[in-house]
């Protein structure tokens, strides 16, 4: 009987703690991708300013309400604009940012190919 | 011929990249909020400042009236500066000034109002700063000009005489 109780307790505790940890991970991930608007070069996760602390509360609330990560980003985007995200999406203001590395990579590759491989 | 195209194109490509990054340097690295776009006001529940009773945002803001929502706090120094201007604005009957007390000690806030006067028709409390985020605010003081449940204009930082004149123009 004692063992049974013990097992029951373990079984009941285990999934709960893992859910909690998952929630925490998600929250940390989201707050790391949000820019603290009043502190330069810090994410909401790093900052302890009034603004960042309020934002953390809002993220917690939204997670409890069942918002997905993407929905939370969309929510903040409507409030503060794209600037609040550290990982901006592909749009007309950011396409250079996204395409330039690929372009440089391709051009570099072409140069290497032409001058070293073709020459042989 | 082939040998000439390659260095030439490399120079051009690096020139373009340099130009893009150089232009990028001129962009502001500080958050510049969009102050002119009209937005619906958010819906929220909060508490009234004096009675500490629950209030809904829909009961505060009515259609067809001009409101100025002012986010203030007793610990905020610029709020002290703009307070006389709010007192003056309050003399205009057409404008309803609503206060949002931001992350404040209620006793201190009451002392602040006793000392400098109360220009607000209604005050509600935002203890943890989450309602300010609903409004898209990121500091104190901030003011929002509202008409027909829409934010007409956002004023970041303390109001000055110029902005007050602008608000007066809008009311007329």
Q: How many CB atoms lie within 10 A of CB A22?
A: 10
Q: pTM for the full model?
A: 0.74
- The per-residue pLDDT for B149 is 87
- Looking at residues A2-27, what average pLDDT do you find? 76
Is residue A10 located within the same domain as residue A41?
A: yes
Structural domain including A31 reads 2-88
At residue B140, the 3 state secondary structure works out as coil
Is residue A101 located within the same domain as residue A47?
A: no
Query: Are A43 and A34 a contacting pair, CB within 8 Å?
Result: yes
Partner residue opposite A54 with nearest CB, options B32, B34, B132:
B132
* pLDDT beyond 90 at B112: yes
Q: What mean pLDDT is reported for chain B? A: 87
Report the alpha-carbon distance of residue B172 to residue B168 in Å, rounded: 6
Closest CA to B73 of B114, B107, B103: B103
* pLDDT beyond 90 at A12: no
Assign B88 a pLDDT band (cuts: 50, 70, 90): confident
> Cβ separation of B33 and A58 shorter than 8 Å?
no
Is residue A51 located within the same domain as residue A78?
A: yes
Assign A57 a pLDDT band (cuts: 50, 70, 90): very high
Tens digits of residue pLDDT in B119-146? 999 999 998 889 999 898 888 899 999 9
DSSP chain A: -HHHHHHHHHHHHHHHHHHHHHHHHHHHHHHHTBB-TTSTT-BTTT--SHHHHHHHHHHHHHHHTT--HHHHHHHHHHHH-GGGBSS--SSTTTHHHHHHHHHHHHHHHHHHIIIIITT-
Q: What mean pLDDT is reported for chain A? A: 84
- The per-residue pLDDT for B2 is 60
Quick one: how far is CA A9 from the chain centroid? 34
> Cβ separation of A114 and B6 shorter than 8 Å?
yes
* pLDDT beyond 70 at A43: yes
Assign A17 a pLDDT band (cuts: 50, 70, 90): low
Partner residue opposite B13 with nearest CB, options A37, A81, A107:
A107
Is residue A15 located within the same domain as residue A27?
A: yes
Query: Are A27 and A63 a contacting pair, CB within 8 Å?
Result: yes
Is residue A76 located within the same domain as residue A97?
A: no
- The per-residue pLDDT for B72 is 93
What is the nearest CA distance from A14 to chain B, expressed in angstroms? 32
Is residue A20 located within the same domain as residue A38?
A: yes
* pLDDT beyond 70 at A120: no
- Spell B55-77 as b/e; 16+ CB within 10 A means b: bebeebbeeeebbbbbbbbbebe
> Cβ separation of A115 and B6 shorter than 8 Å?
yes
Query: Are B61 and B67 a contacting pair, CB within 8 Å?
Result: yes
- The per-residue pLDDT for B142 is 92
Quick one: how far is CA B25 from the chain centroid? 27
Share of chain B above pLDDT 90, in %: 27
- The per-residue pLDDT for A59 is 92
- The per-residue pLDDT for B78 is 92
> Cβ separation of B128 and A111 shorter than 8 Å?
no
* pLDDT beyond 90 at A79: no
Domain architecture of chain B: domains with CATH: 39-171 (3.40.30.10)
Q: How high is the ipTM of this complex?
A: 0.77
> Cβ separation of A53 and B129 shorter than 8 Å?
yes
Report how far apart the first and last C-alpha atoms of chain B are (Å, whole number).
Answer: 72
Assign B108 a pLDDT band (cuts: 50, 70, 90): very high
Is residue A71 located within the same domain as residue A112?
A: no
Is residue A41 located within the same domain as residue A76?
A: yes
Half-sphere exposure of B86 (CA within 13 A, CB side): 30
Is residue A73 located within the same domain as residue A119?
A: no
As for how many domains chain A has, the answer is 2
Q: Residue B144: CB partners within 8 Å, gap ≥ 6?
A: B41, B67, B68, B69, B135, B151, B153, B154, B155
Is residue A7 located within the same domain as residue A29?
A: yes
The owner of tokens 């079984």 is A11
Query: Are B46 and B77 a contacting pair, CB within 8 Å?
Result: no
Tens digits of residue pLDDT in B19-64? 988 888 887 777 777 777 778 888 888 899 888 888 888 888 888 8
* Residue B121 in tokens: 């028709």
Query: Are A84 and A35 a contacting pair, CB within 8 Å?
Result: yes
Share of chain B above pLDDT 70, in %: 97
Q: Which of A16-30, A86-100, B151-165 has the highest mean pLDDT?
A: B151-165
Best mutation target among B37, B129, B136, B137 (most A Cβ atoms within 10 Å) is: B129
Burial class (CB in 10 A: 0-12, 13-18, 19+), B123: buried
- The per-residue pLDDT for A16 is 63
> Which chain A residues are within 8 Å of B8, Cβ to Cβ?
none
Is residue A33 located within the same domain as residue A50?
A: yes
Is residue A80 located within the same domain as residue A96?
A: no
CATH code at position A27:
1.10.8.640
Assign A15 a pLDDT band (cuts: 50, 70, 90): low
């Amino acid at each position: 009987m004692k063992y049974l109780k013990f097992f029951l307790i373990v079984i009941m505790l285990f999934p709960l703690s893992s859910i909690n940890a998952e929630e925490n991970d998600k929250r940390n991930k989201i707050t790391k991708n949000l820019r603290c608007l009043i502190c330069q070069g810090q994410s909401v996760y790093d900052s302890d300013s009034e603004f960042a602390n309020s934002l953390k509360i809002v993220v917690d609330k939204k997670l409890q309400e069942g918002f997905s990560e993407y929905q939370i980003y969309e929510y903040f985007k409507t409030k503060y604009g794209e600037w609040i995200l550290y990982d901006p999406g592909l749009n007309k203001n950011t396409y250079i940012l996204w395409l330039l590395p690929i372009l440089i990579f391709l051009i570099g590759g072409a140069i290497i190919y032409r001058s070293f491989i073709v020459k042989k | 011929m082939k040998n000439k195209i390659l260095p030439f194109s490399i120079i051009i490509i690096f020139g373009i990249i340099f130009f893009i990054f150089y232009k990028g340097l001129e962009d502001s690295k500080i958050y510049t909020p969009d102050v002119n776009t009209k937005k619906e006001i958010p819906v929220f529940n909060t508490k009234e400042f004096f009675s500490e009773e629950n209030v809904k945002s829909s009961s505060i803001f009515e259609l067809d009236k001009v409101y100025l929502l002012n986010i203030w706090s007793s610990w905020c120094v610029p709020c002290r500066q703009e307070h006389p201007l709010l007192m003056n604005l309050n003399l205009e009957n057409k404008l309803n000034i609503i206060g949002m007390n931001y992350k404040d000690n209620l006793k201190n806030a009451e002392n602040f109002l006793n000392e400098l006067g109360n220009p607000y028709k209604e005050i509600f409390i935002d203890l943890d700063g989450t309602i300010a985020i609903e409004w898209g605010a990121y500091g104190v003081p901030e003011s929002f000009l509202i008409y027909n449940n829409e934010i007409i204009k956002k004023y970041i930082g303390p109001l000055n005489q110029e902005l007050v004149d602008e608000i007066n123009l809008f009311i007329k």
